[in-house]
Structure 1
Amino acid sequence: MSARDVGLPAVARSGDLPDRVTIWEVGARDGLQNESTTVPVGVKLEFLDRLAAAGLTTVEATSFVHPKWVPQLADAEQVLAGLTRAPGVRYPVLVPNERGLDRALAAGVRDIAVFGSATETFAKRNLNRTVESQYEMFEPVVARARAEGLDVRAYVSMCFGDPWEGPVAPEQVAEVSARLMAMGCSQLSLGDTIGVATPGLVEAVLDAVVAAGTPVGAVAVHFHDTYGQALSNTLAALRRGVTTVDSSAGGLGGCPYAESATGNLATEDLVWMLDGLGVDTGVDLGALVATSAWMAERLGRPSPSRVVRALAG
């Protein structure tokens, strides 16, 4: 299936939007880590190949989190060893600590991401750390990675609300973000881990992060669609100058440490909206829909993406 085989939205620009958006595809990592069973390596490799062939230029491949905590990604070395790296495509991996960095370097990885928390409770549950002590874990990882010429992204989770602590102050997110960027990270991804954000809060958090010294061009957004707000929140972020958006093919994913976190923003839904707004992504929507429909068959359930259901149903 290609773009010309599917219905495409009429194009109408709206407001002050970027001409191009980079999609940071997380389906093969953030998506598959939440599956109840492990997807075979061969299926993961074909998934990665299909995502790159659809035009996605940043495809997060896997995670070097300890297999005890995320057994679905215990095959990280096998996946990276079998991966055919498409020209012009980056394949970042999640690296939680120095042991994970050792594994990433041995696998020839060139792009990594660390995963911090804006709240104390989630830092404890996800990292077994306090917010303050998480920096002690990340500092040597970032320093070593940059010395090796790697690019380092920083995820910040629970930026808009926490299931244990409730609303999160934008200034709290800004402080954590500034600390992570000061270590030498090149990009910051602000996560709505449980999907409670609304557009006004997105604007407030972005404004606080930028006011604390992080350029908006270095900020990405990562929305979950728990309350159906992911697309409206994305549009609010784009109007504030964000040009990188995280999403997951077919809407796969959640968070194994936050039970109320449902699926990520579906990449197809994002591309449909951006196509309609005349914002370039370089993604072939038809090829992407076919990929997610294929993966849904392997997982044995329908894709939660509205666009996949509409175009592949």
Structure 2
Amino acid sequence: MKTLRKVLVPLAMFPLKNIAYAQKRDSIPLKVRAFFADKFPQNRDLNIDYTQTTPYRFSSKLQETELPDNKMKGFQQLKVNANIYFIKNKNWLLSTALNYRYTAFSTEEPVLSGTEKKNDFHYHSESVNLSYFSKLFNKTAIYTASASVDGSDRHFERIRGLMTASIVLKATPKTKMLVGLAGFIDPSAQIPLLPIFTYENKFSNGWVLDILLPKKLLIRRDIFTNSRISLGTEMDNTSFYIYRNTKTYEFRQLEINSGAIYEHNLGSNFIGTLKAGIRAVPQARVFDKEESLKDYLFEASYKPSFYFNIGISYNPFANPRVK
């Protein structure tokens, strides 16, 4: 699976994030509001989570030169995400997404000459997202335009653009389906377009199939009054900027997390989350910021590892009632 998805996955979520808030507004069509009607909303207004993995081996190469096998002794990551909404009416939704990620890891040997065995990196991104709701073929359609910047604790680095068009094909208490297309304005992207597909189906035995491509594939079920468990696979990404010899490089890696997710509605719009399972990182690359991801300088391939994640979210715009 191409490393490009590490960038495309979070961007493809933008129209779904906007629907998640739109469903709480009486001015938005009922089918859209029903799309994510859940006491565990797809989108979290404020979320903080921490991830830890067990040690794992990895191989790497610098350009075409194979490097000695190495070991990741420790990998930790802290994420803070916030979504703020400004304009909310029948046809328009204006919001901003703020993201911060701290990544720290230590290796048995330095990854490259001149680097340290222990490394830590700060990464942030900010975006402004505008959505327009209308009708297409007598179905609810959502059009989104987004502009984002990202960077490190030293500098702002990239400016990106995103445009999406999606349509709600079905939104009933049992089945929900949306399809769309995302287009990217990003010099580091390998492909300009990415399809969006989300599908949810509730079975009579209490299990729910939850698909959001290319983000996740889960089955889930309520297990207590205010708790649910999910089993399946989610995709995530890690990226940050590296500064060496007056040049700026970008690191990107794709993470495929397979295992179990436990969520508990704590009341007062707070939700706690526990995740655990196996993490696979099929590819990680470092490339010059001025070049494309395919023109990489360094590439690594990791063995699977066990991961653990704990998080808490606060959703002030959600329905505070707990069933």
TM-score, with structure 1 as normaliser = 0.32
Q: Answer 1 or 2: which has greater helix percent.
A: 1
Mark the structure with the bigger radius of gyration: 2
Higher relative contact order (CA 8 A, sep 6+): 1
TM-score, with structure 2 as normaliser = 0.31
